């Protein structure tokens, strides 16, 4: 990459500045391109976090709801009580964790 590819013109004074510089070294004007990129990244991260929150929340609800069915299903299959209750308890714990972690 050549030196001119890494430089942009300051929107205020027209001086050459690095595209990664937070502000112009001559006049101090903020690098709008850098600020816009940062805002886009923050918006994307916030959107992804919101998607993760809902996935975890509903995943927790589903796991909690499934634990009693899982218990009775294993009993119906003839599994020993301790394995049935253990499997249902693990399902419930995972559900509570997901619900509490993402419901904030």
Distance CA 68, CA 91 (A): 9
30 φ/ψ angles, rounded to the nearest 5 degrees = -70, 150
What pLDDT, in 10s, does the model give residues 13-65? 888 888 888 888 888 888 777 777 888 888 888 887 777 777 777 777 787 78
pLDDT for residue 5:
58
The pTM of this model reads: 0.43
């Amino acid at each position: 990459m050549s030196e001119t590819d890494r430089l942009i013109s300051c929107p205020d004074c027209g001086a050459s500045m690095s595209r990664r510089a937070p502000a112009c070294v001559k006049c101090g004007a903020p690098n709008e391109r850098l600020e816009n990129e940062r805002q886009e990244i923050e918006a994307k991260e916030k959107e992804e976090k919101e998607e993760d929150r809902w996935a975890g929340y509903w995943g927790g609800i589903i796991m909690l709801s499934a634990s009693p069915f899982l218990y009775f299903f294993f009993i119906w299959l003839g599994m020993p009580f301790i394995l049935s209750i253990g499997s249902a308890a693990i399902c419930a714990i995972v559900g509570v964790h997901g619900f509490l972690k993402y419901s904030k």
